[in-house]
A and B are shown apart, each in its own frame.
Chain A
């Protein structure tokens, strides 16, 4: 199915569909994320039965601050769909989709680890890439990159995120 046809088909269920660069994206409300994922999976013409990836982006100063995106694909129809959910900074929680897609387990743990977004109902929401006693969530834009000054030809060069030029 071409992205435009796909978008038309999805629009019957979720109104907010956009097509850009050959990819269809739907924006859903946090309360409906599980229901929408289940619906597009059940629909025979859509059949999104494979979850490729779950991740987030951080936009500090905007509302909502975080966008969590789910990359879905269909083994039968070979098409893709992105589902995006916006969540606020002071209530960064989402229902876990592990009951629907067991593969979401590690993806959600990674998103929790790096962004501090909590997935309610996850069987074991713990850090995955960073040590358990790590403080902070490094992929948030408010966390600095870190690094040490490097001596070069007698001068000290600061880490890349603290350079002025």
Chain B
């Protein structure tokens, strides 16, 4: 250590000198308000943000590479873990893309179940948003309420799929099993309670002076800039562009459901809040329409034995398990059935060569799956176009000239899920 730098020269300090250099501050990757492991390199001039550089990759797990080494069916279990707040949307994008390569369509009942679970998932994901944002901006009660209602939705998911997250419930060709007998009643009860709860959130937040002060006019992003940055989802709709994959390129029969695409014109954090709350209400409407359609029984998986998963599940004393009749069939009655089962489980299905890009509207925007097959038993390429990854690019633009405290509100309004960003 040199003499000059280690000691402050008090003799020659000019009390009138104004220091003009900026300060570089690291926010994250371990920070309670970065929604995971996002790191921001902030250049500050006092309280003002001069520049901002988001740094991602801390949660990279190589999902895309892993998928290339597993069978087509196993891919579902990988992609569901990308954006972990929207697992059903990942499964849906992957399965729809694989089904288009195969040239098949899931049976109608499976499509209704897919829409039902996706919209329930959208509500669950949108609930985490005001919950965490509320916590960061000083509305702690919102966090408690948001997670309380999300828990009810996760209970429905658990009853139907066995898991609260990472369900692997959608499979290529349909869904793995139907709703449990009390499923519709459970969902109806949720639909009865939820509208009142959403009114409760609006009463807490919509005219809350702190909420308004922290969000209104903060993080403005115009429609033109949003489109240039590739921003989609509630962030783009809050800037006045009614772009929604469910309407523009319908899948799973979305064109037959009645729902609106809420937009706002201000393009600030408050507008994003308004859009997300409205979307929850629209999703409730879609879930209700799904329940009415579920009155018709039907298969939930394609019939083709060369495509469908061979095992049959039946609820045993432990809650879940293989069907004893099916196990007897392959172990004692039919050698061909055993060979078929073995081939399907170890080798999997083969998918004709080709490429597709399948977008779905996730809670955060356009979630795209670009699948390439070389005709083999494993995907040749699985590319996930995650909306959080793209939306984060707009953060520096939204933060230019803002205060450092606005960084919290702006990051929160993007609603990034790092599992999806880093994949």
A residues adjacent to B (C-beta < 8 A): 20-23, 25, 49-53, 55, 57, 69, 71, 75, 78, 80, 82, 101-103, 105-107, 114, 127-131, 138-139, 145, 160-161, 165
Bound Cα distance from A105 to B64, whole angstroms: 20
- Shortest A136–chain B CB gap in Å is 12
Are A71 and B57 interface neighbours, CB within 8 A?
A: no
Between A and B, 7 residue pairs with Cβ closer than 8 Å are A52-B385, A75-B227, A82-B357, A103-B228, A130-B60, A139-B64, A145-B69
Given contacts A71-B357, A145-B66, contact A106 B389 (CB under 8 A): yes
Given contacts A20-B354, A21-B356, A160-B69, contact A52 B230 (CB under 8 A): yes
Are A78 and B248 interface neighbours, CB within 8 A?
A: yes
B100 contacts chain A at the CB level, 8 A cutoff: yes
- Shortest A41–chain B CB gap in Å is 12
> What chain B residues lie within 8 Å of A107 (beta carbons)?
390
B62 contacts chain A at the CB level, 8 A cutoff: yes
Closest to A57 in B: B381
Are A50 and B354 interface neighbours, CB within 8 A?
A: no
B254 contacts chain A at the CB level, 8 A cutoff: no
Contact pattern, B 247-288, Cβ under 8 Å of A = 1, otherwise 0: 011000000000000000000000000000000000000000
Bound Cα distance from A107 to B383, whole angstroms: 11
Chain B 13-47 residues near chain A, CB threshold 8 A: none
Are A161 and B357 interface neighbours, CB within 8 A?
A: no
Are A106 and B393 interface neighbours, CB within 8 A?
A: yes
B65 contacts chain A at the CB level, 8 A cutoff: yes
Given contacts A71-B368, A103-B228, A145-B66, contact A128 B100 (CB under 8 A): no
Bound Cα distance from A122 to B423, whole angstroms: 23
Contact of B57 among A55, A103, A131, A165 (CB under 8 A): A131
> What chain B residues lie within 8 Å of A20 (beta carbons)?
354-355
For the A-B complex with A50-B227, A102-B229, A107-B390 known, give 11 more contacts whose Cβ atoms are closer than 8 Å. Answer: A21-B100, A21-B354, A23-B357, A49-B227, A52-B359, A80-B249, A82-B357, A101-B230, A106-B390, A128-B57, A139-B64
Contact of A103 among B64, B354, B359, B390 (CB under 8 A): B390
Are B354 and A145 interface neighbours, CB within 8 A?
A: no
Are A103 and B60 interface neighbours, CB within 8 A?
A: no
Closest to A74 in B: B248
Are B69 and A128 interface neighbours, CB within 8 A?
A: no
> What chain B residues lie within 8 Å of A130 (beta carbons)?
57, 60
- Shortest A76–chain B CB gap in Å is 10
> What chain B residues lie within 8 Å of A80 (beta carbons)?
249, 357
Are A75 and B383 interface neighbours, CB within 8 A?
A: no
Are A128 and B357 interface neighbours, CB within 8 A?
A: no
- Shortest A92–chain B CB gap in Å is 17
B101 contacts chain A at the CB level, 8 A cutoff: yes
Bound Cα distance from A69 to B103, whole angstroms: 22
Q: Give the size category of B's interface with A.
A: 35 or more
B residues adjacent to A (C-beta < 8 A): 56-57, 60, 62, 64-66, 68-70, 100-101, 103, 227-230, 241, 243, 248-249, 346, 354-357, 359, 366, 368, 370, 372, 380-381, 383, 385, 389-390, 392-393, 422-423
Given contacts A52-B359, A53-B383, contact A145 B230 (CB under 8 A): no
Bound Cα distance from A122 to B209, whole angstroms: 44
> What chain B residues lie within 8 Å of A57 (beta carbons)?
372, 380-381
Bound Cα distance from A69 to B371, whole angstroms: 12
Top 10 A-B residue pairs of the complex, sorted by shortest distance between their CB atoms: A103-B230, A53-B385, A129-B57, A78-B248, A129-B60, A55-B383, A57-B381, A102-B228, A160-B69, A71-B357
Given contacts A129-B56, A161-B69, contact A53 B357 (CB under 8 A): yes
Bound Cα distance from A3 to B321, whole angstroms: 46
Are A145 and B381 interface neighbours, CB within 8 A?
A: no
Bound Cα distance from A42 to B100, whole angstroms: 31
Closest to B59 in A: A129
- Shortest A157–chain B CB gap in Å is 14
Contact of A138 among B62, B70, B230, B383 (CB under 8 A): B62
Contact of A75 among B56, B60, B64, B241 (CB under 8 A): B241
Closest to B225 in A: A102
Bound Cα distance from A131 to B55, whole angstroms: 11
Bound Cα distance from A149 to B377, whole angstroms: 24
> What chain B residues lie within 8 Å of A78 (beta carbons)?
248-249
- Shortest A11–chain B CB gap in Å is 20
Bound Cα distance from A128 to B65, whole angstroms: 16
Bound Cα distance from A71 to B383, whole angstroms: 12
Closest to A159 in B: B69
Bound Cα distance from A101 to B355, whole angstroms: 24
Given contacts A49-B227, A103-B390, A105-B393, contact A160 B64 (CB under 8 A): no
Bound Cα distance from A25 to B229, whole angstroms: 23
Given contacts A21-B101, A50-B227, A57-B381, contact A71 B56 (CB under 8 A): no
Are B357 and A75 interface neighbours, CB within 8 A?
A: no
Closest to B421 in A: A129
Are B57 and A138 interface neighbours, CB within 8 A?
A: no
- Shortest B74–chain A CB gap in Å is 10
Bound Cα distance from A114 to B230, whole angstroms: 21
Bound Cα distance from A131 to B58, whole angstroms: 9
